[in-house]
Structure 1
């Protein structure tokens, strides 16, 4: 999409692109999805300044995929990802979010569901990314080894919040088969 000299706001540009791309791709029978930062599910409007507004991004596409990685939320340390306070998600402050995979994913999705339920004609379904890696870059005591249990907790949170699909992400593509076996 070329806007010429009159550049739109970031959110207008992103949503304009998604609308145009979805129209063209759907003519070919494609399903259209957009990955979004999970923080926009908590933040009203475009407070992050990245152009992703939850209430707008899913109007013309089939899926949104918020990247809900507990390790990526602020913790109460003064180290990596630390802000001295932690992260408020759905009104709950998490001081070490990586240690609470179920609670983080569940609360992000509950907030997401509540917000998009208030938007008339919101089209996109939610298919979140969940964390499949160990965030050993976080300070000691603020991360845990992510194995089958932590991945299963996140999958349960997706289902418990009323959604049916999820994507596990690990940058190294190292996935633990036991995480996907039914108990």
Structure 2
């Protein structure tokens, strides 16, 4: 009898427990529905957010608290970051050597060219090919002060350009830097004898693996964005040419990539790609587009891990991709053209066809804005080059338009451009 009483008591307690759980679940479901209804109308940055599976949002709790897959670096597209000076019919620009600005005759000639044509953009060095910072940004940073060689007044220059409706792009020579490597030899790559690695022109590269190096260039870009430049363009975003052939004989740090289980080539690619991502993310805070220069050859190779460039990976991380597709810079039979410099229209047309295909295969397609040539490449030898006159420059431009694109940049290192070109 005693056992029977205990058994009945046990059944009674189980019954109460199950009933209580059922009530709590019903109440929880009602509350859940209520929170869901409230939060379905909540938006962040005017965009509705996906709720994590299994749990509703709670009022006042940020999405990041749920460890959501929420890429804050892609909050704004290129169109949302364009300044009011971005040309409605597309960027049609020229490189302006900053030292030409100090020469009234050269400067006025360039301004007259822009005023009298459909050109609407200038690209000017704020960190030149040697590493000189050409604007005095009044920075307290000791390294930036060291490298500053005031050539132009950034605020005055931007104001004058904007008064004429000209879009202004600041070019930064990134990892080729003979100036700051003189102050910080450990930022460069050292040979066995302790000297810095230099190329055939006596120029040295600095180490993309190092945070100090990366942050130095990002600081310059940030100062340029604060000064009012419409866009920042990074050139030489790579390791030195042929780096993979000599890297084992060099003394340098691999930073946070040192102990990663990756091949050296993959480490270089990751270092370069991540820098481009960091630059774009930083500039997004200023609504300033990020552009990258690469040799057109990078697209054809695809993954040049020797210098750390993967064309698709970089393209996927930037807002604007400016491939240098100068006909003179291609080897014989590139794109099935025997002597590319002699066929500027075909070279540009065939390049862009392949580039468009590459861009179609990535998630975030950048704006294509190729660099084309307005110079004569006599150094490639008689019979292999031609005089780049009005017709040759126009041939490249026509190829761009015929490819369905409308943006381009013209390069001449001395800023001496051909007269009478129909842009």
Larger radius of gyration: 2
Which one has more relative contact order, counting CA pairs under 8 Å at least 6 apart? Answer: 1
Matches within 5 A, 1:51-130: 51-74=308-331, 86-89=332-335, 93-119=336-362, 121-130=363-372
- CA-CA distance at 1:13 after TM superposition: 1.0
Q: Distance in 1 between matches of 2:308 and 2:255?
A: 19
Q: Distance in 2 between matches of 1:42 and 1:161?
A: 18
Alignment of 1:150-165 (within 5 A): 150-165=392-407
Q: Give 1:26 shift.
A: 1.1
Separation (CA, whole Å) in 2 of partners of 1:51 and 1:160: 32
Match of 2:384 in 1: 142
Query: Matches of 1:88 and 1:177 in 2, distance apart?
Result: 29
Moved over 6 A (4+): none
Deviating more after overlay: 5-14 vs 164-173:
5-14
Q: Which runs of 5+ in 1 are unaligned?
A: 75-85
8 A Cα contact 2:359 2:365, kept in partner: no
1:123 positional shift: 3.2
TM normalised by structure 2 equals 0.37
**Post-superposition shift, 1:5?**
4.8
Which of 233, 236, 257 is matched with 1:6 structurally? 257
Name the SS for the 2:274 alignment partner.
helix
Aligned partner of 2:280 among 1, 6, 22? 22
SS in 1 for 2:257: coil
Q: CA RMSD in A?
A: 1.7
Partner deviation per Cα, 1:4-24 (whole Å, 9 max, x = no partner): 252462221111001111111
CA distance in 2, matches of 1:175, 1:135: 14
Count of residue correspondences: 165
* Cα distance change of structure 1 residues 12 and 37 upon mapping to structure 2, 3 Å threshold: same
> CA separation of 1:73/1:26 partners in 2, compared to 1, >3 Å: closer, same or farther?
same
| SS state at 1:64 partner | strand
Unaligned runs of 5+ in 2: 1-209, 212-253, 259-265
